[in-house]
Amino acid sequence: MSAKKPNVERNVTINKSEFKAAVVKHLHCTLGTDENKANNHAWWKATCSAMQEQVLEGIRKTQKTHYLNDTRAVHYFSAEFLMGRLLSNNLQNFGLFEVANDALNELGVSLSDVLEEEPDMALGNGGLGRLAACFIDSLATMELPAIGYGIHYEHGLFRQEIQGGAQIERPDSWRDYGNPWEICRPESIQEVSLYGYVETKYGENGRIQKEWHPGHIVKGIPWDIPVVGYGGKTVNVLRLWQSKSSGYFNWDVFNAGGYVDAQVENVQAETISKVLYPNDETEAGKELRLIQQYFFCACSLKDIIRRYKRAHGDDWSRFIDQVVIQLNDTHPAIAIPELMRILVDRAELDWDRAWGICTKVFAYTNHTLLPEALEKWPARMLEKILPRHLEIIYEINHRFMKEVDKKWPGDNAVKARLSIIEEGNEKMVRMGHLSVIGSFAVNGVAELHSRLVKQNLFPEFDALWPGKLTNVTNGITPRRWLKACNPALSKLIDKKVGADWPLDLKKLEGLEKYAGNKTFQKQFMQVKQQNKQLLAAEIKESLGFDVDTNAIFDVQIKRLHEYKRQHLALLHIMALYRRLLENPDYDMHPRVFIFGAKAAPGYKLAKDIIYAINKVADKINNDARVNQKLKVAFLPNYRVSLAEKMIPAADVSEQISTAGKEASGTGNMKLALNGAVTIGTLDGANIEIAEEVGDDNIFIFGLTVDEVNELKASGYKPYDYYYKNPEIKAVLDWLETDYFTPGKPGALASIKQSLLDHGDQYLVLADYEAYSKAQEEVDKAYRDKERWAKMAIINTAKMGKFTSDRSIRDYVERIWKLNACPVRKG
Ligand code: CBF
């Protein structure tokens, strides 16, 4: 199986005048405007359309090549794809960024202004969705036959506004004025059944046959988003399904005056792809979410089978050679019984043969151990929406229980633990169990996480099927997360190690020998300084205040969740504030703490933490006694395009989750790649980052997983820390006053309550002192300019492991068994 490192020979050659002509042509012929009237939005659309000419040609060639070679392909099923903006990425990957820049320049237009016009495609919540986007970038770059499948949400993740310090959610409108990249494919529309009942029939040979009579049918309309590989050779697609009513408009009802009733079915059907669930790591528990999951899985499976049948007709024997499906978390797990239904009920294969196919097609990635995020559906709900699937799940479970009984005869306790069905007041279907049982490989996303998946989450499954549970450490695409977002650093790196590092990130190790070189240190830190100035300008524009770019830029960007512990950072900021108030000469290097985070709308405490950060920020930023040394900036509406501005400017990367809770993290990789030094716990991929950069180039603090477990087992008492550490006590008590919320005492008290009265589930207080000491070490290290520059350079140099190309190579070689299929010129 091959997943060789690709070379950077390009497939597209178009010069500046041709590009210019193409943009102007689209301004005239696609948009019906001209150079004198066009605003930046029109220039953006015209530039995208000019690019789309190259893109479409790439898609055509790629699909033809894959078809002619009858390739095995991976199908990446994910309820989330957090793509961000595409123009700059596509220009970079086609090698046309400079060409476009010069062409637009000659037209009197600034490419960077045009790029700002593009709305982010925010069809995901956080790490899981962004990982999917990085993976499809790597798959195309490595010329692997692949297709991403997901949902064409009308509204992606909400737009966050901050009003009076509090998060307000506004609808996201990524395609309100049309999206120039997506291509509708009405020729591949699919129909999906829902509700109804199952009829049992007896065939001539005594074979029992099941027929599902659905109560409702919806249409799935595919929209293809191009995924341009670096070098522009392979252009794969991300296929997103939009739901539409399958029925016609009911004229009779309409004419009889039922204006609303005539539309009801349409509205219901279209609701399916209306919104992305803004819940990152908690079960939404809503019928609609289950329907969303089934809708996109059913459409995608039909699409895969249609393509397979075009080449192989009704011969199912080659299906497992051609098709592998990666389940990105349990969200698409319903695809397992759906494939069984198609094989048994429609194709009339016998159960064993169908199951043999199924369990060689699916592989499953687990992304979290948080119990509240492990999806379970009430059996009753499945019975109503997908009655035949529930029957199939019962049958899978029945046969599986027999296997369990062979291994652990008579052990009912083990059966209860492994059963897909959780018995209790309400019977629940455990989607994680279904995914493990129905897949041939199961992986966690970082070494520690995968170990915990084996030890704590699925220990018996590991005993039953040794080798099935494995690890693939996450990665990030260096094309977006260094080359495109940090052009100044990229150019500096090109000069030292050559320009092909975006395809072979281990080449960055070549920087290590310059880590102690004063000239290179100066150049490296000058780039950082420029990036800090750009971010300072963004802060000024967004929040209205200045920040000192000589200060340490300390960045924490991720979803807001208690386990990620933004409130640990907040307590420390308050403590610094207090130290400065008590002693104006308190010796610290100036620091700007910069946050970006969205909280799930229904997650009260997470929203309280955002409010508290903003209220503390207001006070500190306006307090002349301290604001030369301390500032806090909470940038609203954290998203991919904002991350692209924040990451290159960071000096310090905050990765401070409770050990054992963050499965991997990928922001940690992006920040380190751009020369930020991590302060973090031994959690997720932080551990592997520490192994790569070495102990001298990272600030590790806090309890380990084992210590967390011991402390919890011995009866953790947060009040002990409160009474023992006067600083902790002072800042927690401060939260209860109206110091930060004049006239509203107690407005921030919920944070104190969660940490003291509600047991401090994530051990913030237990880790506080170690965190505060580690921050003092950061301060000391930063003041030693040479030491810091060396640390920053080594962080960049040692991030080779974390390219998503390496993750994909691991999947390809160990799980998917795929071959690259190069797309040639012409
Ligand atoms: O594996 C990608 C990311 O997934 C999550 O965001 C998730 O949604 N479960 C995890 O929380 C991250 O640790 C992980 O990096």
Q: What is the CATH number of the domain that holds 619?
A: 3.40.50.2000
For residue 663, CA distances in Å to 127, 357, 370 come to 10, 30, 9
Confidence of residue 246 (pLDDT cuts 50, 70, 90): confident
- Which amino acid residue places its CA nearest to atom 12 of ligand 1? 665
For residues 381 and 378, what is the distance between their CA atoms, to the nearest angstrom? 5
The answer to whether position 315 is within a domain reads yes
Q: Are 80 and 276 in contact (CB under 8 A)?
A: yes
| Ligand 1 atom nearest to 373, measured from its CA | 9
> Has residue 717 got a pLDDT over 90?
yes
Percent of the chain exceeding pLDDT 90 equals 92
Whether the predicted pLDDT of 252 surpasses 70 = no
Which atom of ligand 1 is closest in space to residue 126's alpha carbon?
6
Residues contacting 750, CB < 8 A, separation 6+:
604, 605, 608
**Contact predicate 358/396, CB 8 Å:** no
**What's the gap in Å between 665 CA and the centre of ligand 1?**
6
Assess whether 542 and 489 both reside in one domain.
yes
Comparing CA positions, the residue from 656, 682, 685 lying closest to residue 670 is 685
The mean per-residue pLDDT over the stretch 152-178 comes to: 95
Domain count for the chain, please give it.
3
Q: Is residue 710, in this structure, part of any structural domain at all?
A: no
DSSP state of 476: B
Q: Of all atoms in ligand 1, which is nearest to the CA of residue 663?
A: 13
Query: Around Cβ 483, how many Cβ atoms within 10 Å?
Result: 23
Task: List CB contacts of 456: < 8 A, sequence separation 6 or more.
Answer: 369
Choose the residue to mutate in 368, 762, 802 for probing ligand 1, maximizing ligand atoms within 8 Å of C-beta.
Answer: 368
Tell me which amino acid residue 732 is: L
Q: How far is the CA of 118 from the centre of ligand 1 (A)?
A: 26
Q: Is 410 left (phi over 0), alpha (psi -120 to 50) or beta?
A: left
Q: pLDDT tens across 259-281, in order?
A: 666 566 777 788 999 999 877 55
Ligand 1 center–CA 142 separation, angstroms = 24
- The pairing of strands 552-557 and 121-123 is unpaired
193: in domain: yes
Beta strands (DSSP E) in 628-672 are 630-634, 652-655
Report if residue 46 sits inside a domain: yes
CA distance 557 to 669: 12
Q: Which atom of ligand 1 is nearest to the CA of 127?
A: 6
CA distance 165 to 187: 49
For 44, 204, 634, the CA distances from 23, given in Å and listed in that order, are: 9, 65, 38
Cα separation, 171 vs 637, in Å, equals 12
| Rounded-to-integer distance, Cα 510 and Cα 508, Å | 5
81-84 and 121-123 beta bridge pairing: antiparallel
Q: Is the CB of 148 under 6 A from ligand 1?
A: no
Residue to mutate, 283, 453, 666, ligand 1, most ligand atoms under 8 Å from C-beta: 666
Q: Does 558 contact ligand 1 (Cβ within 6 A)?
A: no
For residues 731 and 745, give the distance between their C-alpha atoms in angstroms, rounded to a whole number. 14
Tokens read off for 336: 């397992």
Please indicate whether residue 666, judged by its CB atom, sits closer than 6 Å to ligand 1: yes
* Residue 745 maps to a domain: no
**Which of 366, 367, 431 maximizes ligand 1 atoms within 8 Å of its Cβ, making it the mutation to test the pocket?**
367
For residue 302, the model assigns a pLDDT of 98
- Residues assigned a catalytic role: 367, 558-559, 564, 666, 670
CA distance 684 to 359: 29
Residue 464 pLDDT exceeds 60: yes
Both 637 and 786 in one domain: the answer is yes
Same domain for 53 and 131: no
Q: Is pLDDT above 70 for 257?
A: no
- Tokens standing for residue 221: 């309309």
55-67 core/surface letters (b: 16 or more CB in 10 A; e: else) = beebbebbbebbe
Task: Indicate whether 418 and 482 sit together in one domain.
Answer: no
Q: Distance (Å, rounded) from C-alpha 125 to C-alpha 151?
A: 13
Mutational test site, ligand 1, from 82, 131, 640, 686, max ligand atoms within 8 Å of CB:
131
> Apex CA 251: angle with CA 246 and CA 257, to 5°?
125
The helix/strand/coil state of 216 is strand
H or E element: which one contains 412? helix 412-418
**Average pLDDT value over all residues in the chain:** 95
Boundaries of domain holding 688: 478-702+763-801
Q: How far apart are CA 657 and CA 126, in angstroms?
A: 15
Residues 61 and 134 in one domain: no
CA dist 423 → 126, 220, 428, 668 (Å): 32, 35, 7, 39
| Alpha carbon of 449 to ligand 1 centroid (Å) | 10
One domain for residues 561 and 626: yes
* Cβ 661 under 6 angstroms from ligand 1: no
Question: Which residues pair with residue 631 across a beta bridge?
Answer: 592
Sequence length of the chain is: 826
Residues 81, 823 contacting (CB under 8 angstroms): no
In angstroms, what is the C-alpha Rg of the chain?
27
Dihedral Cα 417, 419, 420, 423, nearest 10 deg: -80
Q: Which of 78, 81, 125, 128 to mutate to test the pocket of ligand 1 (most atoms within 8 A of CB)?
A: 128
Q: Which H/E stretch holds residue 169?
A: strand 166-170
Lowest-pLDDT range, 49-53, 125-129, 254-258, 375-379? 254-258
In terms of Cβ atoms closer than 10 Å to its own Cβ (0-12, 13-18, 19+), residue 250 is: middle
Residue 256, pLDDT above cutoff 90: no
Per residue, what are the HEC states of 52-120?
Answer: HHHHHHHHHHHHHHHHHHCCCEEEEECCCEEEECCHHHHHHHHCCHHHHHHHHHHCCCCHHHHHCCCCC
Q: Determine if ligand 1 sits within 6 Å of the CB of residue 11.
A: no
So what's the ipTM on this one? 0.99
For strands 421-422 and 428-430, give the pairing: antiparallel
pLDDT of residue 173: 84
Ligand 1 lined by 664 (C-beta under 6 Å): yes
The span from the CA of 653 to the CA of 675, in Å, is 9
Q: Is the CB of 561 under 6 A from ligand 1?
A: no
227 lines ligand 1 (CB under 6 A): no
Cα 489 to chain centroid distance, Å, stands at 25
Same domain, residue pair 177 and 103: no
Q: pLDDT by residue (tens digit) across 766-777?
A: 999 999 999 999
**Which ligand 1 atom lies nearest to the CA of residue 368?**
9
> Of the ranges 172-176, 498-502, 519-523, 579-583, which one carries the lowest mean pLDDT score?
172-176
367 ligand 1 Cβ < 6 A: yes
686 lines ligand 1 (CB under 6 A): no
Average pLDDT over residues 213-231: 96
Question: Is the pLDDT score of 287 beyond 80?
Answer: yes
Q: Which two tokens stand for residue 24?
A: 């102007």
Is residue 450 helix, strand or coil? helix
∠ CA(275), CA(276), CA(279), 5° rounding?
130
Mean of pLDDT values over 290-315 = 97
Q: Which atom of ligand 1 is nearest to the CA of 559?
A: 6
Please indicate whether residue 445, judged by its CB atom, sits closer than 6 Å to ligand 1.
yes
Counting from 1 in the atom list of ligand 1, the atom nearest the Cα of 665 is 15
Q: Both 420 and 351 in a single domain?
A: yes
Whether 131 is in the pocket of ligand 1, judged by its Cβ within 6 Å, is: yes
Distance CA 794, CA 796 (A): 5
Identify whether 39 is part of a domain: yes
When pLDDT is averaged across residues 504-521 and rounded to a whole number, the result is 98
Same domain, yes or no, for 436 and 491?
Answer: no
> Between the CA of residue 476 and those of 93, 267, 493, 598, what are the distances in Å?
15, 38, 18, 21
pLDDT value at position 286? 76
CA dist 654 and 671 (Å) reads 9
Distance in angstroms between the alpha carbons of the first and the last residue of the chain: 26
Residue 146 β-bridge partners:
74
* Among protein residues, the one whose CA lies closest to atom 8 of ligand 1: 128
Residue 515 confidence (pLDDT) above 60: yes
Indicate the pLDDT class of residue 2, thresholds 50, 70 and 90. Answer: very low
Q: Is the CB of 475 under 6 A from ligand 1?
A: no
Residue type, 48: C
Residues 31 and 147 placed together within one structural domain of the fold: no
pLDDT in tens, 531-570: 999 999 999 999 999 999 999 999 999 999 999 999 999 9
Same domain, 537 and 412: no
Output DSSP code: residue 661. T
Residue 248's pLDDT is what? 55
Q: How far is CA 339 from CA 221, 265, 333, 347, 416, in A?
A: 20, 27, 11, 10, 26
Report the pLDDT value the prediction gives residue 216, as an integer from 0 to 100: 93
Residue 264: both structure tokens together: 């009801």
655 lines ligand 1 (CB under 6 A): no
What does each C-alpha distance from 284 to 271, 278, 331, 353, 377 come to in angstroms?
16, 9, 11, 35, 10
Q: Which residue CA neighbors atom 4 of ligand 1 most closely? A: 128
Same domain, 649 and 689: yes
Q: Report whether pLDDT(285) > 60.
A: no
Q: Using CA positions, which residue lies closest to atom 15 of ligand 1?
A: 665
- Tell me whether strands 190-194 and 121-123 are parallel, antiparallel or unpaired: unpaired
Check: CB of residue 656 under 8 Å from CB of residue 680. yes
Q: Does residue 652 surpass a pLDDT of 90? A: yes
Nearest to 779 by CA among 581, 586, 614: 586
Distance CA 388, CA 48 (A): 45
Q: What's the gap in Å between 127 CA and the centre of ligand 1?
A: 5
Atom of ligand 1 nearest to the CA of 445: 1
Q: Which amino acid is at 640?
A: V
* Cα torsion angle, 732, 738, 742, 746, sign: positive
With bands split at pLDDT 50, 70 and 90, how would you rate the model's confidence at 207? confident
Q: Is residue 307 part of a domain?
A: yes
Would residue 721 count as lying in a domain? no
Q: Please tell me whether residue 466 adopts helix, strand or coil conformation.
A: coil
Instruction: Indicate whether 483 pLDDT > 90.
Output: yes
Q: What percent of the chain is modeled with pLDDT above 70?
A: 95
662 CB near ligand 1 (under 6 Å): yes
